[in-house]
Amino acid sequence: MRTTKLYKIFIVCFFCAVALLFVKAYAQKGNFEWQATIKPVPQNGFYHLSLSPSIIGLSAQPQMGDIRIFQDQQEIPYFIRENEPQAASSFDTLTVLSYRQYDHPKHSELIVGNTNKKQLNQLLVFMNNASTDKDMQLSGSYDQKKWYAVRETFPLSNTIVRSTGTEMVALLQLPATSYAYYKLSISDSLSAPLYITKVGLDTLPSKKENPYLDQLPEARLKQVKARQASTSLWQLSYDQAMLIQQLNLEVSSPKLFRREITVLSKEVYRDRRGRNKEDYVVVGRGVLLPDQSVLTLDNEVKAKQLYIEVNDEDNVPLNFQKITGWQRRYDLITYLEMGKEYRFVFGNPTIAAPHYDLSYFAHTIQDQTPPLTLETFQRLKQPTTEEPRVFKTVYWFWAGLVLVLTLLLWMSNNLLKEMKRKKGA
């Protein structure tokens, strides 16, 4: 009888523990860290909110999937759009030499001429609207015979920065190069070819060259121990994590230099024994010259620290005066109504990214929408204190599972023995 009672008590406790875990997980879905009230709008319509580097940095998810807008308890749909390219007056068209389609394998090849061998770190590709995604590759050549890699396979969907009317624009970020010809290879294995109207580049320098970039807050810069001889290593630190797309490296000395640089991000991971390990991951490469100080990273990187490794060889190490970071500009577009109060919240690492119907109609919404203003942010909760490291290893999970199974077997065995004794009696 005593064994039966213990068995029942154990089963009840087990299911209570499982229920508590589900309750905790559900509660975390609505657990946002930051909140701001949106100032009332004067009339019904679409509005945009420019997502500052601080908002994007404090967002608990890489793609800002934790952002929500609430009216009372009702979730308000939105979509996020990158700022449009600059006006056509600063656009320099490149000559399209050929645009052909091939069957084996099925793909398109667009070749454009850069006759003056201008230094390029991006291309703008204008095309008719198309609801499709394709893999693309970019290569360069000096004679249209031998082609050299510029950018490896990347999806079309990640490059679209504008879609209005019947036209959309793709911004192709690439490492600084000056080939006489560029070839864009587009996979057509799953859909018909794209209708490309023109290709070109922006002609305004520095910040004015990229009006869809926002300057990040000033970072701390210090030299740290190099990983190997003949190189120098610099640490770039921000007060909070930032989404970084581009770096502007200002050198104070020497006056003349040509250095290969590598941008690194330090990642922390756990080995099989659950111990913390650190490793450097390459996020960008380039060549630094007196008149070439801007480096575009391979992809946007969200980090609190980056490392700049300079290959000095036998030269005097560079002295950096300042390194400025830039991020792509993001606008949140939403429909709000006059006379209603709205809350803007974010900072939840566990909530799933939203899927709103509104995103499918983004191309029908005009670019010029009135801006929204946020009241002062308030912190709804403090960041969760990290659990003791020892309980976060895989071994504790398996040890707990084995213990539970052992207890279940022991109690089942005792229950069977008791049932046999009663049957024998």
pLDDT in tens, 274-322: 788 888 888 888 878 887 788 888 778 899 999 999 999 999 999 999 9
Pair 136, 186 in one domain? yes
Mean pLDDT of the chain: 82
Pair 21, 45 in one domain? no
Pair 293, 353 in one domain? no
In a domain, residue 65? The reply is yes
Pair 94, 159 in one domain? yes
How high is the pLDDT of residue 8? 57
pTM above 0.75, yes or no: no
Pair 319, 307 in one domain? yes
How high is the pLDDT of residue 2? 53
The pLDDT of 384-408, averaged and rounded, is 59
Pair 95, 205 in one domain? yes
Q: Is 90 exceeded by the pLDDT of residue 175?
A: no
Pick the last residue of a domain from 153, 183, 209: 209
How high is the pLDDT of residue 392? 46
The pLDDT of 104-131, averaged and rounded, is 90
Q: Which residue segment(s) compose the domain that 16 sits in?
A: 2-25+389-424
The pLDDT of 208-222, averaged and rounded, is 78
Pair 344, 415 in one domain? no
In a domain, residue 306? The reply is yes
Pair 223, 273 in one domain? yes
Percent over 70 (pLDDT), the chain: 81
Pair 143, 201 in one domain? yes
Q: Is 70 exceeded by the pLDDT of residue 234?
A: yes
Tens digits of per-residue pLDDT, 53-102? 989 988 888 788 899 999 988 999 999 987 644 443 456 889 999 999 99
Tens digits of per-residue pLDDT, 326-347? 988 889 999 999 999 999 999 9
How high is the pLDDT of residue 12? 54
Pair 220, 202 in one domain? no
Pair 110, 165 in one domain? yes
Pair 280, 356 in one domain? no
SS3 string, the chain, reads CHHHHHHHHHHHHHHHHHHHHHHHHHHHCCCCCEEEEECCCCCCEEEEEEECHHHHHHCCCCCCCCCEEEECCEECCEEEEECCCCCHHHEEEEEEEEEEEEECCEEEEEEEECCCCCCEEEEEEEEECCCCCCEEEEEEECCCCCCEEEEEEEEHHHCEEEEECCEEEEEEEEEEECCCEEEEEEECCCCCCCCEEEEEEECCCHHHHCCCEEECCCCEEEEECCCCCCEEEEEEEEEEEEEEEEEEEEEEECCCCCEEEEEEEEEEEECCCCCEEEEEEEEEEEEEECCECEEEEEEEEEEEEEEEEEECCCCCCCEEEEEEEEEECEEEEEEECCCCCEEEEECCCCCCCCCCHHHHHHHHCCCCCCECCECCCEECCCCCCCCCHHHHCHHHHHHHHHHHHHHHHHHHHHHHHHHHHHHHC
Whichever domain contains 116, its CATH number is 2.60.120.260
Higher pLDDT, 15 or 413: 413
- Count the domains in the chain: 4
